Amino acid sequence: MVEAVLFDMDGVLVDSEPFIAEAAIAMLAERYGVLASREDFLPFVGMGENRFISGAAARHGVTVDIESDKARTYELYFEVIRGKLREIKGACAFVRECRSRGIKTAIATSADRRKLEANLREIGLAEADFDVTVDGLMIERKKPEPDIYLEAARRLGVRPVRCLVVEDAVSGVKAAKAAGMACLALAGSFPETELRAAGADYFAPDLERADRAILKA
Catalytic residue numbers, as ranges: 8, 10
Going by C-alpha positions, the residue among 156, 147, 152 that lies closest to residue 175 is 147
Of 183, 200, 180, give the one whose Cα is nearest residue 191.
Answer: 200
**Cβ contact 107:117 at 8 Å:** no
Evaluate whether 214 touches 2 at the Cβ level (below 8 Å): yes
40-68 burial string, b = 16+ CB within 10 Å, else e? bbbebbbbbbbbbbbbbbeeeebebeeee
Q: Closest Cα partner for 130 from 165, 99, 166, 161?
A: 99
82 φ/ψ angles, rounded to the nearest 5 degrees = -60, 115
